[in-house]
Structure formats: structure tokens, C-alpha cells
Amino acid sequence: MIRLALSLILLCLLSGCHPVFAASIPVEARQYQRELTRNARVVWGLNAPVSTFAAQIHQESQWNARARSPVGAQGLAQFMPATASWIAGIYPDQLKDHQPYNPSWAMRALVRYNRWHWQRIPGTASDCDRMAFALSAYNGGLGWVQKDRKLATSRGLDASRYWNQVEKVNAGRSAANFRENRGYPLKIIYTWQPRYLAAGWGPGECHDVD
């Protein structure tokens, strides 16, 4: 039995897999890897941060395509019905079907919505900061990001930097909503993303691919 186990581990290592990290990624994720990569590259280019988006889906739904939150968010990307309807109208060529429970639609919508935010968050110190702002906007709304940055400036902080600058500023959310929002990019980038980077899903923000 021990010899068999060692043989399996050796085979895994020789084939390039990462057993520790692969085990920590939901088994459901693998079936979506190729399609997420394709959708991300269509919108973001060949260097799309696929591992970041995979980590975001991990945070949102644990790759459960039928997930529904207590407040009504739906599918892999956990779009609220109103947001799903809105983005379908913004990008009718790609998202007109308006199917948040359809994994293909959800992944297309997620990468598009992230890009929509990214394009509306200029003047950041780095792409890492910009992605953190974009993720914060995905979770809580672009308006709050803009208000937080404005308040940070008024307090003498660097509004071009998310981490340890705007991250610390709350322009008016409830304490619970603020904790959730600040935990969102933190968990995606520094808890879940390393697992997808190590498992070979591709580039990610704030990290280099090994």
C-alpha cells in the first residue's frame, strides 16, 4: 500500500500536477478551466489574470453553478438579478441571453464586469492596486470605490493605492458591509489565487506565476 501511494505521488509530480493545491481546489472547477481561460483572454488579452478570476469564482460560489445566496445572488458569479439584467443590456452581443445560472454566461459576465470596473478606475499605482479596486467594486459597487478614494485624498492618504491606503477608509458603509467588502479582494488575491497559480491556471494579479 505504501509503495502504491509513493508511486502515485511520483507519477503526479512527474506529470506536473501540484497535489496539495489541486486538492484544495473544488473538483467542479476543472470542467470550467478551459472556458474561463478562453473568455478571460477574449476580454483581457492573452495575459488575462485567469487565476484571479478563478479565485473570484471560488470566493463567490465555490464553483457551484446552482448557488443562490440568501439575498438572491445567482450562479457561479453570484450576480443579483438586476445586475445580470443590466450587464446583458450593456453587452447584448455576448450576454443578451441573461442566464446567471448558465456557467458559460456567468463566466463571460464575470470577466466583462471586472473589465468594466477596471476601465473606470484610472490613476492607480499598480495593476495590483487597480485589480483590488475592481474587485471591491464588483462586491460593493463602483460608487463606493470612488467615494472611498475621494475620502482617502481628503485625509492625506494615497488614493492611487488600495492596499493599506484606501483599504483603510470607509466612506459610509455599515460596519458589516465594510468588513465584507475589504475581505473580498484580500481573500481572492491572497487566499484563493495562490492555489490556482500553483495548479497552473495561468497569470494572476499581485503574484508572479511560478
| pLDDT tens per residue, range 143-196 | 999 999 999 999 999 999 999 999 999 999 999 999 999 999 999 999 999 999
- The more confidently predicted of residues 17 and 52 is 52
Strand, coil or helix: what is 125? Answer: coil
Residue 104 region, left (φ>0) first, then alpha (ψ -120 to 50), else beta?
A: alpha
pTM of the model: 0.88
Q: What is the pLDDT of residue 16?
A: 43
The domain segmentation of the chain, as residue ranges, is 19-119, 122-195
Q: What is the pLDDT of residue 17?
A: 45
Residues 125-141 have a mean pLDDT of 99
| Distance (Å, whole) CA 2 – CA 122 | 56
**Which grid cell sits at 200?**
497552473
| Distance (Å, whole) CA 21 – CA 37 | 19
CATH fold, domain 19-119, is Lysozyme (1.10.530)
Active-site residue numbers?
Answer: 60
Q: Which helix (H) or strand (E) holds 198?
A: helix 193-198
